[in-house]
């Protein structure tokens, strides 16, 4: 019977159908999904910090309302993704524990500081832009709950990307100082955004297996290339320069040649030694501890209601 189950699993993946929570799946498939979905969820939650930094300093009430809505969306994405991970048999408590104890990761990108208002624009344009390029193919991933979660997440990410683009467009067409601030933000966020796609294919430990299982649909380098090609034209419209002298159209490949990000830096940031790792984790731990009373109150309320129902 185990062979039948494995054959059924392989058949579903092969036919581009979805694996659902109650279906049999190889343990390694389950483990990989938990790792990736949890890491994704943690990224959304930690990702609230760099932009949250600017909510109280946004330059107008309208900008503030938009940024507030965006950061709230990230919280929603995180919760959505934790719920998707829970369908694989882990609890949210366990996952939060794994993050807080440093045993699970979150995206490298959120360990960089947001120094000016233009950084909020650059995050929207580049970081959300990279997130979309990475996540649109995940809408077709083989695990049903993850694929379905990604559909809504991607719609909201498109709004996020546009709001960032619009911030940069306004700055870039403002005073020379504002334009310089926008360029400085793009200069600092470009390479870390390229690194979000992960190590180059040759050094990516999980890609081959994840692609065979159709969790990943494209390799890290394929998606990175797609992102670069997308950004070039957008940068032209913005009137900003991508900080890469090696960037040029390659007629033969029908794609842009570009300079790779510093992958040693990526590995350092992933292993905990980026500019803001300590600050991000401290903040997260403090927020979690400060929220203990909310969790306790919610549990007490649920217990009371259950008791009432029984009588
Ligand atoms: N940061 O073998 P691979 C967002 C790790 S978007 C940290 O290639 P894989 C939206 C990797 O886990 C950001 N770690 O791994 C937003 C593995 O570690 P392990 C979140 C990284 O999984 C915007 C090792 O390196 N998006 O939040 C990174 O096949 C604005 C080897 O790498 C997602 O998570 C990295 N950049 O491919 C929110 C998308 N890259 O476990 C707020 C879903 C690699 O062996 C504001 N995830 N690692 O120790 C994915 O698509 C994949 O997991 C990749 C990595 C592509 C990230």
ipTM metric: 0.97
- Decide if pLDDT at 311 tops 90: no
Cα–Cα distance between 158 and 123 in angstroms, integer?
13
Q: What is the per-residue pLDDT across 164-186, written as a single tens digit (0 to 9) for each? A: 999 999 999 999 999 999 999 99
Is residue 153 within 8 A of residue 135, CB to CB? The reply is: yes
Q: At what angle do helices 128-135 and 176-195 cross, to 10 degrees?
A: 30
Atom from ligand 1 closest to the CA of residue 223: 56
Cα–Cα distance between 304 and 128 in angstroms, integer?
42
Ligand 1, residues at Cβ distance < 6 Å: 35-36, 39-40, 43-44, 47, 74, 105, 107-108, 123, 127-128, 131, 134, 195-199, 204-207, 210, 216, 220, 270
What is the reported pTM? 0.96
What distance in angstroms lies between residue 208's CA and the mean position of ligand 1's atoms?
15
The pLDDT of 147-168, averaged and rounded, is 96
Query: How many Cα atoms are found within 13 Å in the side-chain-facing hemisphere of 16?
Result: 5
Cα–Cα distance between 28 and 205 in angstroms, integer?
14
Q: Which residue bears the tokens 């990175």?
A: 224
Q: What's the per-residue H, E or C state across 36-87?
A: HHHHHHHHHHHCHHHHHCCHHHCCCHHHHHHHHHHHHHHHHHHHHHHHHHHC
């Amino acid at each position: 019977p185990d062979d039948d189950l494995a054959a059924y699993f392989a058949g579903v993946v092969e036919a581009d159908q979805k694996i659902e929570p109650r279906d049999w799946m190889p343990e390694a498939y389950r483990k990989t999904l938990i790792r990736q979905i949890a890491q994704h969820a943690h990224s959304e939650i930690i990702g609230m910090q760099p932009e949250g930094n600017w909510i109280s300093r946004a330059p107008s009430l309208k900008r503030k309302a938009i940024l507030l809505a965006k950061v709230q969306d990230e919280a929603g994405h995180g919760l959505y993704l934790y719920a998707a991970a829970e369908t694989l048999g882990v609890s949210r408590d366990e996952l939060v524990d794994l993050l807080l104890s440093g045993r699970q990761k979150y995206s490298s990108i959120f360990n960089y500081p947001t120094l000016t208002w233009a950084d909020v624009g650059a995050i929207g344009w580049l970081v959300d832009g990279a997130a979309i390029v990475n996540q649109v193919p995940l809408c077709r991933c083989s695990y049903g709950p993850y694929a379905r979660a990604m559909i809504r997440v991607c719609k909201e990410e498109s709004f996020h990307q546009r709001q960032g683009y619009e911030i940069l467009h306004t700055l870039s067409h403002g005073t020379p100082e504002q334009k310089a601030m926008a360029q400085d933000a793009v200069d600092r966020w470009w390479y870390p955004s390229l690194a979000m796609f992960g190590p180059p294919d040759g050094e990516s430990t999980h890609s081959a297996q994840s692609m065979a299982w159709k969790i990943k649909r494209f390799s890290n380098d394929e998606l990175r290339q797609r992102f670069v090609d997308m950004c070039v034209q957008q940068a032209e419209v913005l009137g900003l320069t991508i900080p890469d002298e090696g960037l040029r159209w390659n007629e033969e490949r029908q794609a842009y040649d570009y300079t790779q990000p510093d992958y040693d830096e990526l590995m350092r940031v992933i292993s905990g030694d980026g500019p803001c790792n300590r600050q991000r984790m401290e903040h997260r731990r403090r927020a979690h501890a400060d929220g203990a009373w909310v969790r306790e109150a919610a549990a007490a309320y649920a217990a009371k209601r259950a008791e009432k129902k029984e009588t």
